[in-house]
């Protein structure tokens, strides 16, 4: 077996299950989980209808590159959403089975084991970045995201010698778990550093369509590149998904887009990987990428929920002002995040994720997730509001 497997850390939800083992919550209270980022809003119906309409297509092998109509639908959406002059559907985009699979695979395809291979990741972070780096023979470089830096990585804090060992930088905007949005200037600063030190930028933008201010959608990496006149998106790739945008996490459908040379080599890797998207799923994806009204309706539902929950929790919890995604990132009112999580489950039958499970000790030895919680506001309004009320009541009891 690959010895690098031994370097993988327990997944956060595995640790959470162990933390809650043996606890007995109140029998009269229904469980209110705020843990996994799995949307519970209704999935986009036209996509489900397409699965039925094209079900006979399961009898055919799909191509790695997907249907031309699918790539064109994805390219049209990205071009309009991020104000791009163009995105070549033949050379600069490839369908993938969700961003999790694609992120992992991209790291395996992109790292050069023949030289130092550091992979910079925001800290705290989505665990796939770390696991993919370790299994590709790389070494994660944790970039602390805390209140002092607006919960965004400080690229200027990295010295030249370290940058020379970096082959890949991950961004996540809007951020998981912090909800922070990367400004255009930060994207462009990182592009300049990539030119100087020769690394790839991989921007995970799967939460890009869940934002609270309808007039201010989060910018993206390709948008920043285009604003610099880099219409070939050199060194840049982005990851997008229907999981959050269209409430279709089980569809496992997304895309990777950007630098045509990187996409071409990734396409070659995927040909051997054997992970082409089934044709009925491609048809469902065409329907989802081609409609914006259901996405606007989805944002409206999240806005209503965020407003209700923040009104309830703001008097008792300190958290950054939500900008995007569907997470809250509050500091625990007292004690540590694991103790508070156990108490919340045992006394209020509400599950949350300790923030320390999503981070690693940084250069100062401190885990920037410690003392915080990730609350995933993914359920419908009333169950989520009830969970928030229980959290507040528990804090007020002391």
DSSP per-residue letters across 242-275: HHHHTT-GGG--EEEEE-HHHHHHHHHHHHHHT-
Task: Fill in the DSSP letter of residue 363.
Answer: T
**pTM across the whole model:** 0.97
Helices 337-348 and 381-397, packing angle to 10 deg: 110
With tokens 């595995």, the residue in question is 14
Q: What is the pLDDT of residue 37?
A: 94
Helix, strand or coil, per DSSP, at residue 216: coil
State which CATH number among 3.40.50.2300, 3.40.50.300, 3.20.20.70, 3.90.1150.10 fits the domain covering 3-42+294-397: 3.90.1150.10
Closest CA to 330 of 379, 387, 380, 397: 387
Kindly report the CATH class assigned to 60-291: alpha beta
> By the 8 A CB rule, do 277 and 248 touch?
no
Cα–Cα distance, 253 to 199 (Å, whole number)? 27
C-alpha–C-alpha distance, residues 220 and 196, integer Å: 21
Q: What residue spans define the domains of the chain?
A: 3-42+294-397, 60-291
DSSP state, 76?
A: H
What pLDDT, on a 0 to 100 scale, did the predictor assign at position 334? 85
Burial class (CB in 10 A: 0-12, 13-18, 19+), 381: middle
Tokens standing for residue 252: 């496992």
Distance of alpha carbon 258 from alpha carbon 221, whole angstroms: 9
Per-10-residue mean pLDDT for the chain, 398 residues long? 91 96 94 96 98 97 97 98 96 97 97 95 96 96 95 94 98 97 98 98 98 97 97 98 98 98 97 93 98 98 97 97 95 94 98 98 91 98 98 95
Partners of residue 350 on adjacent β-strands: 32
The dihedral sign for the CA sequence 16, 17, 20, 26: positive
In this prediction, residue 219 carries a pLDDT of 98
**Cα–Cα distance, 146 to 80 (Å, whole number):** 33
| HSE toward the beta carbon, residue 219, CA cutoff 13 A | 14
pLDDT the model gives residue 274: 84
375 in helix, strand or coil?
Answer: strand
């Amino acid at each position: 077996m690959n010895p690098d497997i031994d370097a993988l850390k327990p997944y956060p939800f595995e640790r959470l299950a162990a933390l809650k083992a043996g606890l007995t919550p109140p029998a009269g209270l229904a469980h209110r989980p705020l843990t996994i980022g799995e949307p519970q809003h209704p999935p986009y119906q036209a996509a489900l209808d397409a699965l039925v309409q094209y079900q006979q297509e399961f009898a055919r092998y799909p191509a790695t590159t997907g249907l031309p109509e699918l790539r064109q639908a994805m390219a049209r959406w990205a071009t309009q959403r991020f104000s791009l002059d163009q995105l070549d559907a033949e050379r600069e985009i490839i369908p993938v089975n969700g961003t999790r699979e694609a992120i992992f695979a991209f790291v395996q395809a992109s790292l050069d084991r023949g030289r130092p291979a550091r992979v910079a990741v925001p800290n705290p972070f989505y665990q796939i970045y770390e696991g993919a780096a370790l299994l590709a023979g790389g070494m994660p470089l944790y970039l602390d995201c805390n209140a002092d830096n607006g919960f965004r990585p400080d690229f200027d804090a990295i010295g030249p010698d370290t940058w020379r060992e970096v082959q890949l930088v991950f961004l996540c905007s809007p951020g998981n778990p912090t909800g922070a949005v990367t400004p255009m200037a930060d994207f462009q600063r990182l592009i300049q550093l990539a030119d100087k030190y020769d690394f790839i930028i991989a921007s995970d933008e799967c939460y890009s369509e869940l934002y609270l201010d309808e007039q201010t959608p989060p910018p993206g990496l390709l948008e920043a590149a285009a604003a610099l006149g880099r219409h070939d998106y050199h060194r840049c790739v982005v990851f997008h998904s229907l999981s959050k945008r269209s409430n279709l996490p089980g569809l496992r459908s997304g895309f990777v887009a950007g630098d045509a040379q990187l996409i071409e080599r990734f396409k070659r890797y995927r040909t051997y990987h054997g992970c082409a998207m089934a044709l009925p799923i491609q048809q469902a994806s065409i329907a989802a990428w081609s409609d914006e009204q259901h996405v606007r309706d989805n944002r409206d539902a999240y806005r209503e929920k965020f407003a209700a929950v923040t009104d309830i929790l703001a008097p008792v919890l300190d958290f950054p002002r939500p900008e995007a995604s569907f997470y809250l990132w509050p500091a625990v009112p007292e004690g540590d995040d694991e103790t508070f999580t156990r108490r919340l489950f045992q006394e209020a039958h509400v599950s949350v994720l300790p923030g320390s499970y999503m981070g690693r000790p940084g250069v100062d030895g401190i885990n920037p997730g410690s003392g915080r919680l990730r609350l995933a506001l993914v359920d419908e309004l009333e169950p989520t509001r009830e969970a928030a009320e229980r959290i507040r009541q528990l804090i007020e009891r002391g």
